[in-house]
Amino acid sequence: MGQHPLDPLLSPRSIAFVGASAKRDTPGHDMMRMVRNGGFKGDVFAINPNYAEIEGFPCVPDLRRLSESPDLVVLAVKNERLEDGMKEAVAVGAKAAVIFASGQLAADVAPVLTQRLAAIARDARMPVCGANCMGFYNDLDNVWICGFPSPRRPDRGSIALIAHSGSVFGALAHNDPRLRFALAISPGQELTTSMADYISYAVDRPEVKVVGLFMETARDPDGFRMALEKAAAREVPIVALKVGRTEAAAKAALTHTGAIAGTDAAYQALFDRYGVVRVETLDELAATLMLFSTGRRPGPGNLVSIHDSGGERELMIDLAERIGVGFAAIEHDTKQLLAAQLDPGLEPENPLDAWGTGQNFVTRFASCFQDLMSDRNAAIGLFSADIRDGYYLHQGFADAAKAVAERTTKPVALVTNYTQVRHDTLALMLSKSGVPVLDGTLNALIAVRGALAYRDFLATSEDAPATLPASLQGERDRCRGRLASGQILGEAESLMLLSAWGIPSVRHETATTEDHAIAAANHIGYPVVLKTAAEGVTHKSDVGGVCLDIKNDAALAAAYRDLARNLGSKVVVAKMLRNGVELSFGMVRDPQFGPVLMIGAGGVLVELLGDNVSALVPFGPVTARRLLDRLKIRKLLDGFRGQAPVDIESLALVMSRFSVLCDELRDLVSEIDVNPLICGAEIAAVDALVVTHGAKSWT
């Protein structure tokens, strides 16, 4: 591997440990034991004036007494000594540092200690792990930097873990030997070196087959996005557990879209763009990492599974349906092969319950599982059994699963349905032989879902954003000029803006008198909708500002007088559209990742149903169709109970054009809300609101 900026930190040739100690059960002593246990082959120096050696490593009084500059300096000292320690490390030419302490001082003054430490490191162009970190394990190069003892043993694997939580780092790195790491890193406060940098380093190592993240936030948003893009380009899957799903960022939003999107929608959109597999729990994270760590990719098709229990087979069916994992429809020839081997009363189907009398069970399970895996519709296989150590039956199941895995290139895993079975020896043996043992039916199925989703992500083709009508370029230029004024655009102006980007909108006119409103209605044609255009009203239906299905002049006059009396004389008269599915779409500008587009159920249901998806902009019609397919109300677009189907191609084009609008206006617009978009015989935006940067009022 060529030189990487993080090599001095993660793969150093020499290490100096400041704060090393011969006193047992202290971080200063434990870190010396850990670097030795990891098998580091380079030069190691303990820095302490009170000893000649510690744990067999030579000891010198301070960094200045070293005969040469160390690649890495580990600062295991109190916060009060960190600043001097960093300055000394820079002075002796150290190329990287690790800081265990918190970096917090009582009665500190600005700039605070962590900022001062970061400035020292940045000026020296020094990568730093920490402060407030647990260190790291680089099992590829036998570098263990950790101030706490652990029972782990060197065992080079293919998983890279980067965890913002030190406890999560310890839980995954120190407990289950099935999780075989290439790298495990606790970045801490990321003074100079962020999660993005570690991802970039990990995907540069050919040994790494999957990267797992436990993340609180992206401290380097641009770098994080580029790191995910790099991983996607190199086809190294990323599995992320993102915590802190807060809506705090949306509290001040003026639109439905802004209120719904929040911070987490931007992360989800980012993850979708780059194929990041998202999980919810540490158990799901571990299971998914183990499945990906084999390096095998699912083929076309879906899941096949074999069971020794009818009840647990039904459990898997129920859970798979709940989370959206499909079972492969096996072919007739496969069913015939299975039928010839099964005991009476067992059906040749997928999922397969193969336990009958138990006679020749190893041969029978291996043969049946092999037939399932050989089916052209089988993408990935699970062998379901609650194995435990010291039981001949479960040793036989393990042998059968291992034999099948050796005869296929598709992913194979063994799944236990109960997470507390006693199988340490058997599970480790299987995992090392390429058959990960995934504990818990749901955890295993979520891992399978992630593997299939990543396969589908890799299969997606380039999807160019829609082109815009050239004839409307002048209108678009005029709209940009209007947006530069920094004011919120009302409904009429917002609909005009949409039209300039080729997004159809309902016929409408603005009126300020009763006679003008009646004239507009006659020009548009009844029935019409009358809506307030009062400044400061963002959600018209909440204040009685919408009158629907007005059929004649008299009804319009009465409705206008009522609106004018309560909300002011300015109104919008629009064509009443019928018989369509209501969608909403909009944009909110995320402070980290830019414009995030949202599509969801429309009308008054937009916030009630919680049926929405998000995406980064811009994107093409193919991506738009995939987003629409993820909506709960998707079936309504195909026609429901006699309703005509919506032209999905046209709707996808509208979505793509809107994504281009959001991208082109990212420097001017903070929020856009289009609700509803009526999708029927024609597709048209009925109401819209555009909020420019800095606009939080109508004045």
pLDDT for 254: 41
pLDDT for 604: 59
135 touches 9 (CB < 8 A): no
Lowest mean pLDDT among 10-19, 245-254, 273-282: 245-254
Per-residue pLDDT band at 696 (split at 50, 70, 90): low
Q: Is residue 2 part of a domain?
A: no
Q: Are residues 479 and 531 in the same domain?
A: no
Q: How many domains does the chain have?
A: 4
Q: How far apart are CA 237 and CA 341, in angstroms?
A: 38
Q: How far apart are CA 643 and CA 645, in angstroms?
A: 6
Mean pLDDT of the chain: 92
297: amino acid identity, one letter: R
Does 62 have pLDDT greater than 60? yes
Per-residue pLDDT band at 611 (split at 50, 70, 90): confident
Q: How far apart are CA 648 and CA 214, in angstroms?
A: 38
Q: Is residue 500 part of a domain?
A: yes
- Determine the distance from the C-alpha atom of residue 10 to the mean position of all C-alpha atoms in its chain, rounded to a whole number: 26
Q: Are residues 62 and 168 in the same domain?
A: yes
Of 184, 118, 112, nearest in space to 150 by CA: 184
What are 327-339's pLDDT values in tens digits? Answer: 999 999 999 999 9
What are 339-381's pLDDT values in tens digits? Answer: 999 999 999 999 999 999 988 999 999 999 999 999 999 999 9
Q: Are residues 540 and 584 in the same domain?
A: no
Q: Are residues 201 and 334 in the same domain?
A: no
What are 108-122's pLDDT values in tens digits? Answer: 999 999 999 999 999
Q: Is residue 380 part of a domain?
A: yes
Q: What pairs with residue 306 in β-bridges? A: 352, 383
pLDDT for 109: 92
The residue range of the domain holding 498 is 463-505+579-699
Q: Are residues 382 and 481 in the same domain?
A: no
Q: How far apart are CA 64 and CA 18, in angstroms?
A: 12
506's tokens: 């309902």
Q: How far apart are CA 114 and CA 82, in angstroms?
A: 9
Q: Are residues 308 and 194 in the same domain?
A: no
**CA distances, 173 to each of 134, 147, 181, 473 (Å):** 11, 14, 8, 57
pLDDT for 605: 60
CATH number of the domain residue 663 falls in: 3.30.470.20
Of 310, 317, 319, nearest in space to 284 by CA: 319
Lowest mean pLDDT among 224-233, 243-252, 317-326, 684-693: 243-252
What are 452-471's pLDDT values in tens digits? Answer: 999 999 999 889 999 999 99
Does 385 have pLDDT greater than 50? yes
Q: Are residues 556 and 602 in the same domain?
A: no
Per-residue pLDDT band at 543 (split at 50, 70, 90): confident
CATH number of the domain residue 572 falls in: 3.30.1490.20
Per-residue pLDDT band at 252 (split at 50, 70, 90): very low
% of the chain at pLDDT higher than 90: 84
pLDDT for 603: 66
pLDDT for 424: 95
pLDDT for 440: 98
DSSP-derived 3-state class of residue 310 = helix
For range 477-496, the mean pLDDT? 88
Helical packing angle, 491-500 and 648-664, nearest 10°: 100
Lowest mean pLDDT among 69-73, 156-160, 207-211, 483-487: 483-487
Q: Is residue 530 part of a domain?
A: yes
Q: Are residues 84 and 229 in the same domain?
A: yes
For range 664-681, the mean pLDDT? 92
Per-residue pLDDT band at 681 (split at 50, 70, 90): confident
Q: Are residues 138 and 151 in the same domain?
A: yes
Does 55 have pLDDT greater than 50? yes
Residue 386: other Cβ atoms inside 10 A:
17
Does 698 have pLDDT greater than 80? no
pLDDT for 538: 72
Q: Are residues 473 and 515 in the same domain?
A: no
For range 265-292, the mean pLDDT? 96
Does 260 have pLDDT greater than 60? no
Top pLDDT among 406 and 610 is at: 406
